[in-house]
């Protein structure tokens, strides 16, 4: 949870006004404890998706994934945010236009489904475009990065490809992913995804 994020939330929709922490189902008031518990719960839920992957049907699947990952921590898991978010002076997509964005991303998802499995370059291009748009959308109050990376992993899996945008102890992948998403650089994201995707068929 970066301090460079800013949230317009005068009514404390998501946070406890006393602690400044996100309200959570465990009633945790210590930031380090919340980080630890949330990380453990999400890791467990991610493993479940590895064992029983879901099919990506459209933008609704992004919300299904978020709900699955964060169901143990937040009552609003799987629900679109109702506050505005900015980071380093850049505002993410305004909530008032979410419906238009959902339709556009659904079209990108449909385009990806039509690409032949053996066209790795075109698959990487389209996945990067989807990632860039989903990241700009930033539909959740918390957990956007983890949800969108799992969304892309599951989507690539449908083409018989593995894609791990969060490999352990790989600073280079992390830095390129962050640079590509923060700067909305689709070229960086395309090259990163193209390098990372691999066929499951050995």
Instruction: Report the percentage of the chain scoring pLDDT > 90.
Output: 85
Give the pLDDT confidence of 51-68 residue by residue, as tens digits.
Answer: 999 999 999 999 999 999
Sign (positive or negative) of CA dihedral 106, 193, 3, 43? positive
Q: Residue range 164-183: average pLDDT?
A: 92
- Provide the domain count of the chain: 1
Tens digit of each residue's pLDDT (9 = 90 or more) over 1-25: 345 788 888 889 999 999 989 999 9
Q: Which domain holds residue 28?
A: 5-199
The pLDDT of residue 202 is above 60 = no
Q: What sign for the dihedral angle of Cα 24, 26, 27, 31?
A: negative
Report pTM: 0.94
Q: The domain spanning residue 83 has which CATH number?
A: 1.10.3290.10
From residue 187, give the alpha-carbon distance in Å to each of 7, 109, 127. 29, 19, 11
| Cα–Cα dist 94/176, whole Å | 26
Residue 181 Cα distances to 81, 95, 149, 159, angstroms = 19, 19, 11, 23
């Amino acid at each position: 949870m970066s301090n460079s994020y800013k949230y317009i939330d005068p009514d404390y929709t998501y946070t406890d006004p006393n602690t400044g922490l996100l309200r959570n189902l465990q009633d945790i008031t210590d930031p380090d404890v919340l980080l630890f518990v949330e990380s453990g719960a999400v890791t467990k839920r991610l493993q479940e998706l590895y064992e029983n992957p879901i099919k990506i049907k459209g933008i609704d699947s992004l919300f299904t994934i978020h709900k699955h990952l964060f169901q143990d921590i937040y009552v609003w898991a799987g629900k679109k945010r109702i506050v505005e978010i900015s980071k380093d002076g850049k505002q993410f997509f305004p909530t008032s236009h979410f419906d238009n964005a959902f339709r556009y991303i659904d079209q990108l998802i449909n385009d990806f489904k039509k690409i032949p499995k053996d066209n790795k370059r075109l698959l990487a291009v389209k996945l990067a475009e989807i990632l860039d748009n989903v990241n700009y959308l930033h539909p959740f109050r918390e957990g956007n990065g983890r949800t969108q990376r799992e969304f892309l992993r599951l989507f690539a899996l449908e083409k018989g490809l593995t894609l791990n945008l969060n490999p352990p102890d790989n600073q280079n992948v992390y830095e390129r992913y962050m640079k590509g998403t923060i700067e909305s650089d689709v070229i960086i994201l395309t090259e990163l995804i193209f390098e990372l995707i691999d066929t499951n068929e050995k």
